[in-house]
């Protein structure tokens, strides 16, 4: 018995094998299994519980004995502990932060095509916002310019905001993301993971690291004033 879940620890949609379980019975047709499960990817443990009533009981009869992998999203009143909370890299501008979290929501729900497109949009928004960090008005103005993502990435490199290696990687991800954006084909988990991993690193490089450095510098300057 196993479940397919987006892991709260490694953020990977993985197979969670049940190691042990306990069932609490409320009445003859209403009961809730509590399952201790372990992620195949990172080997961290979680607790899964779900409700089974008269409308679902036939589906889960003897579930503890079978080898079926149940999708967590299809379980009735399912709960996961620890809860899988969506997070974004620190120090992102507001609109970019919301777009990235939308991508994470779709990724956690295994909606690969929607997630891939939103991660690609996050990369494009990052190229725009990086030229005017945390100036939403200026970023809105820059976004109105008719310019494709290829040129926006190249401009970041020309202005010294990303390295050549980062530029080359960005173009590879751009090609992969635009394939899934424009082609009438289903995206797959592996391609979406590649886009997601680059997107996260790209945002941290452009916004999180500079933001952390600035906050440390401000803290050191404050200490100098106090002394």
* pLDDT given at position 54: 44
What would the pLDDT profile of 142-157 be if each residue is shown by its tens digit?
888 889 999 999 999 9
Report pLDDT for 28.
66
Q: What is the mean pLDDT of residues 57-82?
A: 74
Q: Which CATH architecture has domain 94-226?
A: Up-down Bundle (1.20)
Rounded CA-CA distance 4/27 in Å is 28
Q: How many angstroms separate the CA atoms of 18 and 2, rounded? A: 6
Q: What is the pLDDT of residues 16-40, one digit of tens each?
A: 988 888 888 777 667 788 889 999 9
pLDDT score of 58: 46
Stated as kind and residue range, the H or E segment containing 26 is strand 13-27
The answer to whether the Cα torsion of 94, 96, 97, 103 is positive or negative is positive
**Which pLDDT score, from 0 to 100, does residue 93 have?**
92
CA-closest candidate to residue 12, choices 200, 215, 207 = 200
**How much is the mean pLDDT over the chain?**
88
- 108 and 34 in contact (C-beta within 8 Å)? no
Q: Give the model's confidence band at 168: pLDDT under 50 very low, under 70 low, under 90 confident, else very high.
A: very high
Cα 81 from Cα 165, distance rounded (Å): 39
Q: Where does the pLDDT of residue 170 fall: very low under 50, low under 70, confident under 90, or very high at 90 and above? A: very high
What is the domain partition of the chain in residue ranges? 2-81, 94-226
Bridge partners, 25 (sequence order)? 31
What was the pLDDT predicted at 72? Answer: 86
The pTM (predicted TM-score) of the whole model is 0.71
Over residues 4-17, the mean pLDDT reads: 85
């Amino acid at each position: 018995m196993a479940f397919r879940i987006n892991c709260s620890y490694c953020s990977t949609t993985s197979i969670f094998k049940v190691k042990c379980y306990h069932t609490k019975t409320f009445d003859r047709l209403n009961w809730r299994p509590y399952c201790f499960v372990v992620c195949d990817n990172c080997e961290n443990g979680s607790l899964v519980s779900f409700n089974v009533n008269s409308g679902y009981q036939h589906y889960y009869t003897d579930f503890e004995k079978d080898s079926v992998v149940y999708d967590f999203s299809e379980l009735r009143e399912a709960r996961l502990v620890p809860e899988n909370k969506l997070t974004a890299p620190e120090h992102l501008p507001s609109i970019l932060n919301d777009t990235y979290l939308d991508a994470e929501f779709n990724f956690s729900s295994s909606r690969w095509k929607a997630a891939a497109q939103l991660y690609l949009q996050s990369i494009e928004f990052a190229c725009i916002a990086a030229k005017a960090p945390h100036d939403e008005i200026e970023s809105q103005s820059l976004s109105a310019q008719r310019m494709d993502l290829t040129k926006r990435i190249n401009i970041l490199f020309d202005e010294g905001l990303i390295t050549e290696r980062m530029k080359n990687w960005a173009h590879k991800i751009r090609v992969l993301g635009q394939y899934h954006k424009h082609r009438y084909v289903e995206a797959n988990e592996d391609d979406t993971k590649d886009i997601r991993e680059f997107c996260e690193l790209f945002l941290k490089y452009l916004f999180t690291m500079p933001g952390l450095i600035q906050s440390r510098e401000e803290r050191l300057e404050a200490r100098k004033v106090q002394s």
